[in-house]
A and B are shown apart, each in its own frame.
Chain A
Amino acid sequence: MADPEDQMETVQLTEQQAKARRSRNIAIGLICGALVVLFYIATWAKFGPAILDRSF
C-alpha cells in the first residue's frame, strides 16, 4: 500500500462532464487553427508583397 503522503486525489468526471470537456477542447483547437489562417491571410492583405521586403 502506498504511503498516505503520496496519495493523489483525482477527479472522476461524469460522462456529461467528459463529453463537454472534449467538445470544448475541439472548439478551442478549431478556433486556434482558424486564427492562424486568419492572421496569415490578414498579413498578406494588409502588407501585400511588401511583407517579403527584408531590406531593412
Chain B
Amino acid sequence: MNTVADKVETTQFAADVSVAEPKDFFALLKPRVMSLVVFTALVGMVLAPGGIDPILGSIAILCIAIGAGASGALNMWYDAEIDAVMTRTRSRPIPSGRVSANAALGFGMVLSFFSVLVLGVLLNWLAAALLAFTIFFYVAIYTVWLKRATPQNIVIGGAAGAFPPVIGWAAVTGSLAIEPLVLFAIIFVWTPPHFWALALFKRDDYERAGIPMMPNVVGDASTRTQILVYSLLMAPIGCLPFVLGFGGLTYGVVSLGLGLGFVALAYRLWKVGDADPEYRAAKKLFAYSIAYLFALFAILLGEHVVSALIPVLA
C-alpha cells in the first residue's frame, strides 16, 4: 500500500521541541509548599466535627494540593523573569528553559479549573469557592499586584497560605466556624516574621529582581523591629486553640514554650542588629519558624487522633 510517506520527499530539521520531563511539571507545583498546604488542610479536616468518608476526604486533600500546586505554576509563569535573576529561583523549570512559559500557564489553568470543579462536585461548593478564591488571591492579588507594589506584599499575600485549613474544614462541614479561622490567623501572623527573616539574608536577590521586600525598602533595622512585633503578636495567637478548647493541655504547653522560643529568637535578631553580617540570627529564626508552624499543627493533629482512638482502644 502506498502511503503519503512513500510519495513525498521529506525534509528533516531540528525543531524547538520541548525537553520538559514530568518531574519539571511536578516542580512547577512547588512540592515543598504543597506539602505544607496538604498538612495544614489535613489538620483542618481532622478537627472538623462530623467526620468525612475517607475516600472523599482523600480526594478533597488531593484537590486542595493540586489547586495550591496550580497557583504555584501560575506564580512561576508570571514571575519567570524575576526568577531568572534570583539565585534561589533561577533553576526553576521556566527560567532554566526546560518548560515554556505558555506550557506552564496552560498547565496551571487546567489544574486550577479541574481541582475546583472536582472539589465542588464531590464535596461541596463552599470548599470549592474558597479554593478558587485562594488561587485567585495568590496569583492575581499577591503575584501580579502586591509582590511588586508594596513591602507589605507578604503580609497581605500571606492570607493565601493561611486558607488551606479553612478549606479542609469547609470540605467536611460545608460551613465555617471559629476554629478554622483561628488556624487561619496563626498562619497569617506567622508569615511576616517567617518571610522577612528570609528576606534579610536574601536581600541582594530581591534587590536584583526589583522586589520591594521589607529590608530593601525600609532597611534591616526596621525589618528586625517589625519581625519582633509580629512575633509578639503571633505567640499568643498560637496559644488560642488551647484557650478556645480545641487544643489540649499538651498543645497549650508546647505552643506557649515554642512561642516564647520564637519571641526569644526574634529578640536576639533585633538585639544583634548590624553586628551579624552573616545573618546567622535571621537564618536561625527562619529555620525555627518552619519547625514552629509544623509542630503546632502536628500536635493539634496528634491530640485529635489520640482522643479519637482512646474510646476505640478502650
Contact = CB atoms under 8 A, between A and B. Distances in A.
A20 B17 CA distance: 10
A38 interface: yes
A12 interface: yes
B8 A6 contact: yes
Contact of B9 (A8, A17, A26, A42): A8
Chain B interface bracket (under 10, 10 to 19, 20 to 34, 35 or more): 20 to 34
A13 interface: yes
Contacts of A45: 53, 55-56
B229 interface: no
Contact of A2 (B9, B15, B22, B56): B9
B208 interface: no
B22 A46 contact: no
Nearest to B26: A27
B11 A10 contact: yes
Interface string B33-77: 000000000000000000001011001000000000000000000
A23 B24 CA distance: 11
B56 A10 contact: no
A12 B15 contact: yes
Given A7-B8, A42-B56, A24 B13 contact: no
A32 interface: no
Q: Which 7 A-B pairs have the closest CB atoms?
A: A11-B15, A27-B22, A45-B55, A2-B9, A12-B12, A6-B8, A20-B19
23 contacts: A1-B9, A2-B7, A6-B9, A7-B9, A7-B10, A8-B10, A9-B13, A10-B10, A10-B11, A11-B12, A11-B13, A12-B12, A13-B15, A13-B17, A14-B14, A21-B18, A23-B22, A24-B18, A24-B21, A27-B25, A42-B59, A45-B56, A46-B56
